[in-house]
Amino acid sequence: MKVPLDYARPGGDTIGLALLRVKATDPSKRVGSLVFNFGGPGGDGVTALAQSAGSYRTLNTRYDLIGLDPRGVGRSAPVTCVDDRRMDEINAQDDSPDDAAEERALTAARESYDRGCAARSGRLLPHVGTPSAARDLDVVRTVLGDRGLHYFGVSYGTWLGGSYAHLFPRAVGRAVLDGAVDTRISTEDLDLQQAAAFQRALRSFGTACAGLGRDACPLGRDSASVVAAIGTLLDGLDRAPLPTSGGRRLTQSLGTTGVSAALYSEQAWPTLAQGLAEAVRQHDGTTLLTLADLQNGREDDGRYSNLSAANTAITCADTPDRYTVQDVRRVLPKFRNASPVFGPSMAWSMLQCTGWPVRGDAAAQRVAAPGAAPILVVGNTGDPATPYAWAPALVKEIGKSAALLTLKGQGHGAYDTNDACVRAAVDAYLLDGRVPADGTTCG
């Protein structure tokens, strides 16, 4: 479908949006279309739904499932910045510098990346912010013929869903926002809280890993010793990257990414334990590199999705925050205190938008939706990527139309953990319109 590139000039240039539809299996009881956003920002909704539609069979009985690549993402006028070889170099580069030379290298790489984005995608960059994507959703709703937008947003998708509700409160249908983002906090606070949440998730993994015994988890006998061993391993990669079966080397940055990637789902913990055991016993970084590649959007053939480029473009369009190296140095101690493993790299990630060629707009952070139909916000107490505190914060930001559903669990988001209580509550809401009582808890 076609939408305006710039909604301020609706008669001007257009861009194409890619959608995938999985038709309802019981059309006689069809509610409408259910549009998904699986997160990011920068996540490809078409491919994600194609791969995961089976997880939503119950919802698919009465909904056409819709996967959408938002503007700037995947097949929808994708933002591009650098070639695949350069992406390999960027992802392997030290992203937690220890001295002035490494700081200069990091900032130079960031500046070069930004220049590439401006050169390749400068026309798109001013128009990929979340409010524009939310306006696209209303065009999607109209094209699909639904009076209200039925929506399932995960992670960043909760921000997009909140933005839609703010702009079109009377057009909200049944909306689930799972793995909520607090849209009103600064980039510094967001990164700091996320670092602490990843550290908590790592401690939970440490407990589970230690429980497997020394054969499966040769890192320690309890959570503290496992987490300490992981920190030592990653510190060692800074000096001596590990070889992998494909010929690339597992650097500290890639190793840290691989560990954090596995914390998104408790189902990935055995793979993480295997990768850590291989690294410690066999000095082989292959499994950890595979996890990092999945997180970075790298295919086995070396090609990258545009996840990184779209993530940067959308993030920097949605916030006016621009930090300096001095800002990062100032906050490094509290980031290290929040997470010895993830804190330093997450502090330096505050530079993501520093030299970005487009100014960010704080208007993107508005999600108040007075007069909207009931919206269900879901939070997971063990979520590493969207800390649980963001869920009640988003409920407060949206207003009286929002209700909170809590899972006491592990992993990013709640519905896809397959917790029976969460699934039943969400399905009852989406299929029959029964909103769970605000404050309902599962797990």
pLDDT of residue 61: 98
Instruction: Give tens-digit pLDDT for 132-162.
Output: 999 999 999 999 999 999 999 999 999 999 9
pLDDT of residue 136: 98
Q: What is the mean pLDDT of the chain?
A: 97
Q: Per residue in 285-313, is it b (16+ CB within 10 Å) or e — as a string?
A: bbbbbbbbbbbbbbeeeeebbbbbbbbbb
CATH entry, 2-76+126-185+362-442, from 3.40.50.1820, 3.40.800.20, 3.30.870.10, 3.40.50.10490: 3.40.50.1820
pLDDT of residue 75: 98
Tell me the C-alpha distance between 237 and 281, whole Å.
Answer: 14
Question: So which residues are the catalytic ones?
Answer: 155, 383, 412
Q: Which of 418, 312, 417, 347 is nearest to 188 (CA)?
A: 347
pLDDT of residue 436: 97
Tell me the C-alpha distance between 197 and 205, whole Å.
Answer: 12
Instruction: Give tens-digit pLDDT for 400-431.
Output: 999 999 999 999 999 999 999 999 999 999 99
- For residue 442, give both structure tokens: 């599962």
pLDDT of residue 176: 98
- For residue 182, give both structure tokens: 């607090």
pLDDT of residue 31: 97
pLDDT of residue 288: 98
pLDDT of residue 387: 98
pLDDT of residue 46: 98
**319, 353 contact by CB (below 8 A):** yes
Tell me the C-alpha distance between 75 and 44, whole Å.
Answer: 8
How many other CB atoms sit within 10 Å of the CB of residue 390? Answer: 26
Instruction: Give tens-digit pLDDT for 220-247.
Output: 999 999 999 999 999 999 999 999 999 9
Give Cα 254 distance to the centre of its chain.
Answer: 17
Domain ranges of the chain: 2-76+126-185+362-442, 83-120+187-318+321-358
Ranges of residues in the chain whose predicted pLDDT is under 50: none
Tell me the C-alpha distance between 158 and 151, whole Å.
Answer: 10
pLDDT of residue 212: 94
pLDDT of residue 83: 98
Q: Is 322 exposed, middle or buried (0-12, 13-18, 19+ CB in 10 A)?
A: middle
How many other CB atoms sit within 10 Å of the CB of residue 211? Answer: 13
**213, 188 contact by CB (below 8 A):** no
155 contact partners, CB below 8 Å, separation of at least 6: 38, 39, 40, 178, 179, 181, 385, 386, 412, 413
Tell me the C-alpha distance between 281 and 249, whole Å.
Answer: 17
